[in-house]
Amino acid sequence: MHNFNTLKEFLEEPRNVVIIPHTKPDADAIGSALGLSWYLRKDEHNTTVLSPNAYPSFLHWMPGHEEVVIHDKEQPEISEDIINKADVIFCVDFSALSRIEDLGPMVEKQLSNKTIVMIDHHRGKVEFADYELWDIDAAAAAQLIYEFIDLDEGTQKIDQRIAACLYAGIVTDTGSFKYPSVSSRTLRIAAALKDTGLDTARLYNLIYDNNTERRLRFLGHALKENLTFWSDLNTGFFTVSQDDRDNYKLQSGDTEGLVNYALSVNGIKIAGIFKETDERDGIKVSLRSIGDFSVADLAAEHFNGGGHKNAAGGRVDGMTIDEAVALFKKVLEEKLK
């Protein structure tokens, strides 16, 4: 691992920079990528944010969204070309190349040719970068982008545009500053971002007050029909079938936050969503916990995933939703014994 000072020197000349967020980027991943991009542009770097796939429309307000390149499975050469032209690749909000789908092998090929920087706060790190800013206690990757800027002695260059991107990442990854991951440092960084003149109330509106009737009806349906509690295991979970996805025309991001309704019930410490993917025998799993129980370990051990202690995810293939739920129950019974 190199010393950050050599990276600082390397960035003294304008470089071709590619910034990659994790697959199905959330506000933290895309906000971190765009915030970093705007910051690096201040020093004349040529930056491109390259996303493994699309992200929900409630994030399209983010400054720089129009310029994000979404990897196109039909034309992989576009992404390949962008990666080939890079001098430096920033990997943000993930710490294993398996988290960027088709872009993983493309970056893998460049590990010895290009400078690779990883900035992340997830467990389950796999070594691949020349520089790492990795802290699982950081509340958001966006918080670590701020720390990167601070290491670069550039916090005075943070403008409202950068602040909006980073603030969005911190707000969403902390459940609006409510999770235990929030430290005094998180709040100080939020305050520094606010001090740029950022209209934080407007930002909340953009992120949270964007429901559609369709999504609200789906929420009603899911609360009524798809929610199961196992009180003896302090667990509640939702299932979302392909039929639900068709009936409510669900889009990426529409189940965001759903899991928290299960967690909001008194006594419930573990919550999940089991969602059928396009292939009916693939199940996407999303897990949350309150307290010491690590859903990251559970996801890593049984659902090919990972994440944070209190928020993690994964997927299993070749299983029906009932089988995935049965596996979840068996694992919980063993772990909570």
Point out which residues bind Mn ion (CB under 5 A): 28, 93, 141, 173
Shortest CB 121 distance to Mn ion, Å: 6
- Cβ-in-10-Å burial (0-12, 13-18, 19+) of 278 comes to exposed
Residue 314 found at the interface with ligand 5GP (CB under 6 A)? yes
Instruction: Give residues 9-38 in contact with ligand 5GP (rule: CB under 6 A).
Output: 22
Tokens of 157: 């260059």
Residue 207 found at the interface with ligand 5GP (CB under 6 A)? no
Member of 36, 168, 311, 325 binding ligand 5GP (CB under 6 A) = 311
Per CB under 6 A, which region of 77-85, 200-208, 305-313, 324-332 contacts ligand 5GP? 305-313
Residue 71 found at the interface with ligand 5GP (CB under 6 A)? no
Shortest CB 171 distance to Mn ion, Å: 12
Residue 64 found at the interface with ligand 5GP (CB under 6 A)? no
Shortest CB 62 distance to ligand 5GP, Å: 18
Q: Which does 100 bind (CB under 5 to 8 A by kind): ligand 5GP, Mn ion, none?
A: none
Q: Which does 141 bind (CB under 5 to 8 A by kind): Mn ion, ligand 5GP, none?
A: Mn ion
Q: Which does 25 bind (CB under 5 to 8 A by kind): Mn ion, ligand 5GP, none?
A: none
Total of chain residues touching ligand 5GP, rule CB under 6 A: 14
Give the 3-state secondary structure of the chain.
CCCHHHHHHHCCCCCEEEEEECCCCCHHHHHHHHHHHHHHHCCCCEEEEEECCCCCHHHCCCCCHHHCEECCCCCHHHHHHHHHCCCEEEEECCCCHHHHCCHHHHHHCCCCCCEEEEEECCCCCCCCCCEEEECCCCCCHHHHHHHHHHHCCCHHHCCHHHHHHHHHHHHHHCCCCCCCCCCHHHHHHHHHHHCCCCCHHHHHHHHHCCCCHHHHHHHHHHHHHCEEEEHHHCEEEEEECHHHHHHCCCCCCCCCCCHHHHHCCCCCCEEEEEEECCCCCEEEEEEEECCCCCHHHHHHHHCCCEECCCEEEEEEECCCHHHHHHHHHHHHHHHCC
Residue 312 found at the interface with ligand 5GP (CB under 6 A)? yes
Q: Which does 315 bind (CB under 5 to 8 A by kind): Mn ion, ligand 5GP, none?
A: ligand 5GP
Shortest CB 140 distance to Mn ion, Å: 5
Residue 286 found at the interface with ligand 5GP (CB under 6 A)? yes
Residue 275 found at the interface with ligand 5GP (CB under 6 A)? no
Member of 64, 169, 236, 307 binding ligand 5GP (CB under 6 A) = 307
Positions in the binding site for ligand 5GP (CB under 6 A) = 22, 99, 122, 124, 286, 305-308, 311-315
